[in-house]
Copies of this chain bind each other. A is one copy, B any other.
Amino acid sequence: MSSTFKAMVRVFLKAGVLDVQGKAVEQALHGLGFPGVADVRVGRLIQFEVAAADADEARTQVEAMCRRLLANPVIESFEVEIA
């Protein structure tokens, strides 16, 4: 029997990789009058339901999805949350 789990995946550029989008957001926020903003990083958030026998199997499946489609392991890191 399989249950449905909620998966939340967070994908960010790895620490050493220049985050151009983050830099653009940072400059725009400074320009809008928020000078106290620093170290902006922009990432993706992917939320979905997944059918699996248990939470462990759901996590294994979702990690495989990250490596094959959701993240680019060369430059991005990901975190998986199963609920």
User: Which residue numbers of A lie inside 8 Å of B, CB to CB?
Assistant: 2, 4, 10-12, 22, 25-26, 28-29, 32, 34, 36-52, 61, 64-65, 68-70
Q: How far is the CA of A30 from the CA of B42 in the complex (A)?
A: 27
- Is chain A's interface secondary structure helix, strand, loop, or mixed overall? strand
The interface residues of chain B lying within 8 Å CB-to-CB of A42 are 44-47
Further 6 A-B residue pairs, CB within 8 A, beyond A36-B51, A37-B48, A37-B51: A25-B70, A26-B48, A29-B69, A41-B48, A42-B44, A43-B47
Closest B residue to A57 by beta carbon equals B36
Kindly report which residue of chain B lies nearest to residue A28, judged by CB atoms. Answer: B69
Could you tell me the distance in whole angstroms from the C-beta of A54 to the nearest C-beta in chain B?
A: 13
